[in-house]
Structure 1
């Protein structure tokens, strides 16, 4: 039984667990303002906003309705484009789109409106960079982005209170009155449930799992939602380690990782879109065992480990022992990822370099993703962990390459030997993203780029640093 707030009223629904929010809105609720475009989280036409209590206020976040299963909205306010109109008048976000001629065919417009609505709730003043990130998951094929950015500037430069602000206290009271769902609400409950039902699928953000429903038209009859387990969303820092709960959203991880590893934070800005980052998790990114998940190579290079749980038993496993083959991991039946543990960089002169090569700068899948964690003292490499995604059936460390770097002078001749060693570490394949020859050449060139960046920091090597 799912309970959520929509249009000021508590809705109680008994739906199959694999029902997406988009299916519910268009098929069951008759709310067709939310559009169906790609059904894969790439176009943003189906963007809706979820509001939930955060202390004594409400937190507003965009999500892709096509990739969000209905259990994820339990205990939250579901806001669609139909909710914005108030007392016969357009919401000021909608009016700004009209005033700035920011809509032509109009198909993408509801998604843009919802992203701008959430942006205004989160942002105090207009910022080009933050607005671009907020809209990076919304595609427009006819209007062009300049008038949409003009609308965003008008909204953020002159924010206005609306009906959601006026009803915030009442909304909080209604949401807090919603009873617990039948899903586990503690990590112990999850461990017991999953141990008893090891064939069930765990779903946190569901941004990858939902594709089995929307793209492959499969049914997922047994799902266990992780959306209501606070312990799995906690991010803590100890003196030596960052502990990330497996169900913590990538958006929540970003500020912590930015502070500790700025390169990691920059990568996450290119990790899918804002809507996906608001839902997606490192736990899911790792557990699905994909060879092109961007989290894998970076966490491998940083020497991360996983805290795993099966029933009452826990074990810690280095990440480089976790990936066994294509979408095959070391997880036992009924075992799940509880935490991702990343060694901190405090007081260590190690440099992290991350490179993502894809057809688009943002909201795209990598052809090659490289992560290099290097420490050089007195001209000699004393620490080297190198990992690549997109080069093998799993995200994988370049052991032969690392061996050519360790203990050697940090110079061109060493780099060239390390480049040749990559051919011992990887046998990439050709697919629609890149040929195997291209992937190997790119991997070698990224190693060379890392050397140039570290030895000649004044040389600008990335287009995002000077455009």
Structure 2
């Protein structure tokens, strides 16, 4: 039995775990304010909030329900736009949208309202950047974003004096959320939510890619949901190494204070990866085993020279260098019944430099045409160690073995970088597809490789230093 709270109603259902939360909300509960748009997690029309109880407090995050399995709602508080409503008056988010004329046809409006309500419920700093991040996964095709941005500004101004408390009293008193929210912590505590015995089936964590490709199949067949397996969660730093559980999400990395001190541009890099709704759902393990040649986080971890831990059903573990994991298009070193459990890498030192670059048709919310990452250790202008990865130019997410080997031990100079680019071009084999021609991808590979050095060492290099000689 899947048990959770939907708005102010306790749900116990025997519906299939693999059906989408969107379909359950709309067709089984007739809550049609949650809209069907792209069914790919891109438009935000189906945005709902998921409240998770931990240490006697609830953390709310926005997700796209069209690519989320119903079974992942077990033990949670799910909030649709109907669940944000007050009686006979508008909420703060609804009023902000109305006051700033931020709606026309209204189709996208519920998703924006839910996302802005999620921002009010979050513990993030009340500033405009965070408010805009909260609605980064919501698309409106008729109003234009200035009016919506003004609504976000109004929300931020109203939240300036917010007093955070676990009972949400301030938000209730100031009409951001309805009164029933103060009862949810106790009600979730009292829910009977023992681990359900799930049938054998395809491992699914966040489902952000699987449900784009196979939603109907997963709704009709057995799934083994692992998103709530605690042993696959968490980010630990010890002995100059970082270990990330494969159930951890991009948002877990985004919000990790210590990791951000090691990677000062981390949020800037991760903003290129996906919207906030997807960052809240997408697991690192899912990204790696998806084996997409353009997987952003795969490229990210390849440049960190990461190792992955793989375990079988008997609990036996083995470690595999990520750069040796991929064997061919969508194939990798994972046997039947094995599961990725952790990703580990050495943390940067004072002499380390890391950068991530991505080119796609849109700056945000799009898959890469080509993406690339680099990690260098440089002392006295000598590259002591180099790791370079690139996506979109081979059948697999590509670790550039020869390019990395060539750079190691060389002087940090334009001649070195130009020669390394020649080696890079021999290592890649792009094809013509919808994201560009082979020639275009080679050009992007070159430009992103040069961009790593102009970004990391702006006083030493400019793009002109390379382009005129390339």
User: What is the TM-score when the length of structure 2 is the normalising length?
Assistant: 0.90
CA distance in 2, matches of 1:458, 1:360: 30
Pairing 1:261-272 to 2, within 5 Å after superposition: 261-272=263-274
| 1:339 corresponding residue in structure 2 | 342
| 2:158 corresponding residue in structure 1 | 158
| 1:209 corresponding residue in structure 2 | 210
Q: Structure 1 residues 49 and 245 mapped into 2: Cα distance closer, same or farther (>3 Å)?
A: same
Q: State the Cα distance separating 1:161 from its structure 2 match.
A: 2.2
CA distance in 2, matches of 1:233, 1:100: 41
Q: State the Cα distance separating 1:406 from its structure 2 match.
A: 2.1
CA distance in 2, matches of 1:460, 1:168: 54
| 1:363 corresponding residue in structure 2 | 365
After superposition, what is the alpha-carbon deviation per residue over 1:227-279, rounded to whole angstroms, capped at 9, x for unaligned? 32122122111122111111112111113342222334322122111100101
Please state whether the residue corresponding to 1:284 is helix, strand or coil: helix
CA distance in 2, matches of 1:124, 1:166: 22
Q: State the Cα distance separating 1:300 from its structure 2 match.
A: 1.0
| 1:127 corresponding residue in structure 2 | 127
Q: State the Cα distance separating 1:378 from its structure 2 match.
A: 2.5
Q: State the Cα distance separating 1:142 from its structure 2 match.
A: 0.9
CA contact (8 A) 2:67 2:211 kept: yes
CA contact (8 A) 1:306 1:317 kept: yes
| 1:354 corresponding residue in structure 2 | 356
| 2:110 corresponding residue in structure 1 | 110
CA distance in 2, matches of 1:283, 1:220: 24
Q: State the Cα distance separating 1:18 from its structure 2 match.
A: 1.8
Pairing 1:283-294 to 2, within 5 Å after superposition: 283-294=285-296
Pairing 1:34-433 to 2, within 5 Å after superposition: 34-122=34-122, 126-159=126-159, 161-162=171-172, 164=177, 166-183=179-196, 197=200, 200-214=201-215, 219=219, 221-256=221-256, 257-310=259-312, 311-345=314-348, 347-433=349-435
Name the Cα RMSD after superposition: 2.1
Q: State the Cα distance separating 1:396 from its structure 2 match.
A: 1.3
Q: State the Cα distance separating 1:55 from its structure 2 match.
A: 2.4
CA contact (8 A) 1:5 1:77 kept: yes
Q: State the Cα distance separating 1:28 from its structure 2 match.
A: 1.0
Q: State the Cα distance separating 1:365 from its structure 2 match.
A: 0.7
Q: State the Cα distance separating 1:206 from its structure 2 match.
A: 0.6
CA distance in 1, matches of 2:26, 2:44: 16
Q: State the Cα distance separating 1:393 from its structure 2 match.
A: 0.9
Contiguous gaps of at least 5 residues in structure 1? 185-192, 462-467
CA distance in 2, matches of 1:218, 1:282: 20
Q: Which moved more, 1:254-263 or 1:267-276?
A: 254-263
| 2:468 corresponding residue in structure 1 | none
CA contact (8 A) 2:132 2:152 kept: no
| 2:162 corresponding residue in structure 1 | none
Please state whether the residue corresponding to 1:19 is helix, strand or coil: coil
| 1:2 corresponding residue in structure 2 | 2
Contiguous gaps of at least 5 residues in structure 2? 160-169, 464-470
CA distance in 2, matches of 1:321, 1:288: 15
CA distance in 2, matches of 1:324, 1:183: 35
Q: State the Cα distance separating 1:181 from its structure 2 match.
A: 4.7
Please state whether the residue corresponding to 1:137 is helix, strand or coil: coil
After superposition, what is the alpha-carbon deviation per residue over 1:166-210, rounded to whole angstroms, capped at 9, x for unaligned? 4445211111222235546xxxxxxxx89xx4xx21111110111
Q: Structure 1 residues 459 and 87 mapped into 2: Cα distance closer, same or farther (>3 Å)?
A: farther
Q: Structure 1 residues 393 and 183 mapped into 2: Cα distance closer, same or farther (>3 Å)?
A: farther
Please state whether the residue corresponding to 2:320 is helix, strand or coil: strand
CA distance in 2, matches of 1:460, 1:112: 41
Please state whether the residue corresponding to 2:104 is helix, strand or coil: coil
CA contact (8 A) 2:403 2:424 kept: yes
Q: State the Cα distance separating 1:456 from its structure 2 match.
A: 2.7
Q: State the Cα distance separating 1:61 from its structure 2 match.
A: 0.7
CA contact (8 A) 1:380 1:410 kept: yes
Q: State the Cα distance separating 1:116 from its structure 2 match.
A: 0.4
